[in-house]
Structure 1
């Protein structure tokens, strides 16, 4: 069996004893690497002012070798904070107004991908299968091909892929499309993302769609597919069940004082629709006086990319809005919104999901959104909550039992919250059962196996 080589912007090292369990993606990739033997390479998260970073830091655990590279401060600023997160991220999330293209940052992005390729190449064997992850590393295969490598190389995009009219606003869109053509398999979260990619090739006149999911572009033929990423469904459900005895979860339950809990969990990002969600919650309370002082909305939002100005501003905006809503509709004995600006461990988070009558997952645009899947997996089968989900999240293509909303429609989202709060038990159970059955079958291990099966077959 060929070795597997995973390349991602950041590397998830094995958990130390006593640490919170790793996320489902890390668990699945580590299992696939352990089975085949292999390497996981990526950025260490460290940077320095040196012109040349230190040699690769290698550590082996079982069948897996972890290879971590430092980057210079200039590399981090141009490649990561610059082009990846101030051009590719906003454009892929349809936020053209926030994309700040700069030639220097673009050059840094391609330079760091070339640097990754030169660090990775000496570690490779002829029959290794290479799996590259996410928008930071789109040009990596082209750099490896230029060095003469003929290995099977797959790419998976974890975020949305926009339609042609959005993508083509980026000055270097053709170089990005050309970079993807050097992979043997390009995977997306949904059929819509795949259609946007293939349609862009055809519309630009740089490629065409063939039979069997194959695409041709820039003289290369490769496969496109969609592989909706899952979670470790059974394990997460077990976390939630066991969390009932967790001290933090028990205290949270007591503090709600019999009110219905609504929960939102998001990384602090403008794509998550947090401000629109706060507006919708306020509208729900004002329009449904019977629920005044009978609901609590818990919004957990860890800080994200605070070095990027848009994210720093977002943090201030969300905090101010939560305070405004609490001041407008709260009372002496009721704080409607609890806003937590830090990370919560996954076992505790699973317990909080299980307490919540409503899971409010309303991004303006999202590749998949695993919070939606975690919320469903965490529910008590005897008394499940209701998922209110944005139709613009990839998860909406799978979770047919959710109440789908347009997050820009504040009144519509407020109405969905009201419907979920008042939904009869039998309907809640039927909706949850359909979604849970799907999640158990389509978990993260299946996602990993399906992608590697197709990549191996190319």
Structure 2
């Protein structure tokens, strides 16, 4: 790749830091090939800062330049806390009941995207390849085009694309979708997401389909395809050999020598189906009493967006459900649920996964869900655990060898967990082999490589 890569995201990651995840490492590899730029919000909120203004900071990181932008408190409230997290996040996860359609939010969202475009445009070179990430920055290409930028610009949506009638509930949905046509390439997580995009642009925008993945509308042409994101398998398996991971695995095995561990690791978010998961575990204990004093659910719920009412509600609900299950079924020497509301160090995750007999990855809606792939990568191939996976996670399109469940069906989910706990070794090994082969084939490096190749080959947006 000869052109310089410019990555734009709401937040950036320094690929040289040990805590960087697989995505940061994969993007860092691509950025370092020819020297690159990673542009995003600094995470700093300046009280009383002028609207639509912010200081730009440049920091070298090897061959990569990290460019970060401060936001004023009004801009942060409207763009990030408001439109991104109170409108786009709930709607794209099908939760219209939680969306707050405040006119000021969209105005701030546009204002910050214009600010990003204005600051970024001064750093661009004519032959740059620009890769924009996620729902925070949907209008960015349109703002860059308005400033005269003619570079190739691709967009990847990490969260689900909702069906047309759900998308149409957003008051400014037509402006959002028009903005997407300023990109040369749109990447989505799954074929289901592509189908939703195609149906929307054909129904609402009268788009003409020019080929399998080419669409023309608003006087512009765009390519939209599925690029399912993966993990860095080797990087994650190397984490499993760190002292922290080994200590976590051995500690759990020594503390629970006679227990079968069920593992859940999620951000505390209403899209993750955590109350339904706890109810399914409750049903497991009620309907299959042989699991009492035997099965233990370790549920890690990482704090996120604290202070937002809907997140406080779900936290209280989970604490109540955990207390109910432990009160009803707990013994002096056995607590059915260990609910952990804090961030677990990434280096400890492989050890946690490896200790689990079953992983519960049961979101109500998810773009992909990389926990499912990490769990598979962390397993002992000779004695692997079983993945119970929601059919509503994007990962379900690829991971058909998991036990797929409808998380809304509490009884059926409990039955699937019972099947996982009783699954014979031969079937566990067979399923794990199939899952690991898929996780390796569709890893994060393939995702990055195929997206950038498709962006290089895409026809340029009209000038």
TM-score, scaled to structure 1 = 0.97
SS at match of 1:301: strand
Cα distance in 1, alignment partners of residues 381 and 129 from structure 2: 41
Q: 1:328 to 1:158 in 2, by over 3 A?
A: same
Matches within 5 A, 1:208-223: 208-223=208-223
Cα distance in 1, alignment partners of residues 256 and 235 from structure 2: 27
Cα distance in 1, alignment partners of residues 241 and 384 from structure 2: 12
| Structure 1 residues 324-380: Cα deviation after superposition (integer angstroms, max 9, x where no partner) | 111111112110000111111222111110110001000000000000000011000
Cα distance in 1, alignment partners of residues 214 and 389 from structure 2: 32
The residue that corresponds to 1:13 in the other structure is 14
1:266 equivalenced with 2:266 (yes/no): yes
SS at match of 1:123: coil
Unaligned 5+ segments in structure 2 are: 459-463
The runs of at least 4 aligned residues of structure 1 exceeding 6 Å deviation read none
Cα distance in 2, alignment partners of residues 61 and 205 from structure 1: 43
Segment drifting more, 238-247 vs 138-147: 238-247
Matches within 5 A, 1:20-419: 20=19, 22-48=20-46, 49-51=48-50, 54-241=54-241, 246-419=246-419
Cα distance in 2, alignment partners of residues 54 and 137 from structure 1: 17
Q: 1:362 to 1:347 in 2, by over 3 A?
A: same
Segment drifting more, 222-231 vs 244-253: 244-253
Q: CA deviation at 1:244?
A: 8.6
Q: CA deviation at 1:242?
A: 5.1
How much is the aligned-residue C-alpha RMSD, in angstroms?
A: 1.3
SS at match of 2:223: strand
SS at match of 2:347: helix
SS at match of 2:408: coil
SS at match of 1:229: coil
Q: Is the 8 A contact 2:205 2:217 kept in 1?
A: no
SS at match of 1:400: coil
Q: 1:68 to 1:337 in 2, by over 3 A?
A: same
Q: Is the 8 A contact 1:33 1:39 kept in 2?
A: yes
Q: 1:94 to 1:206 in 2, by over 3 A?
A: same
1:447 equivalenced with 2:441 (yes/no): no
Cα distance in 2, alignment partners of residues 160 and 227 from structure 1: 12
Cα distance in 1, alignment partners of residues 300 and 190 from structure 2: 27
Cα distance in 1, alignment partners of residues 61 and 45 from structure 2: 24
Q: CA deviation at 1:241?
A: 5.0
| Structure 1 residues 93-131: Cα deviation after superposition (integer angstroms, max 9, x where no partner) | 000101110100110001000000001000001100000
Q: 1:243 to 1:253 in 2, by over 3 A?
A: farther
Q: Is the 8 A contact 2:407 2:413 kept in 1?
A: yes
Segment drifting more, 349-358 vs 47-56: 47-56
Q: CA deviation at 1:36?
A: 2.3
SS at match of 1:266: strand
Q: CA deviation at 1:258?
A: 2.1
Q: Is the 8 A contact 2:248 2:352 kept in 1?
A: no
Cα distance in 1, alignment partners of residues 239 and 64 from structure 2: 27
The residue that corresponds to 2:461 in the other structure is none
Cα distance in 2, alignment partners of residues 182 and 277 from structure 1: 40
SS at match of 2:302: coil
1:2 equivalenced with 2:3 (yes/no): yes
Q: CA deviation at 1:253?
A: 1.8
| Structure 1 residues 70-112: Cα deviation after superposition (integer angstroms, max 9, x where no partner) | 0001111100010111110111000010111010011000100
Q: CA deviation at 1:256?
A: 1.5
Q: CA deviation at 1:245?
A: 6.9
Q: CA deviation at 1:314?
A: 1.6
Q: Is the 8 A contact 1:272 1:366 kept in 2?
A: yes
Cα distance in 2, alignment partners of residues 242 and 411 from structure 1: 38
The residue that corresponds to 1:434 in the other structure is 434
Cα distance in 1, alignment partners of residues 23 and 196 from structure 2: 25
Q: CA deviation at 1:14?
A: 3.8
Cα distance in 2, alignment partners of residues 383 and 25 from structure 1: 28
Cα distance in 2, alignment partners of residues 340 and 99 from structure 1: 28
Cα distance in 1, alignment partners of residues 233 and 291 from structure 2: 32
Q: CA deviation at 1:260?
A: 0.5
Cα distance in 2, alignment partners of residues 217 and 29 from structure 1: 31
Cα distance in 2, alignment partners of residues 205 and 399 from structure 1: 33
Q: CA deviation at 1:290?
A: 1.1
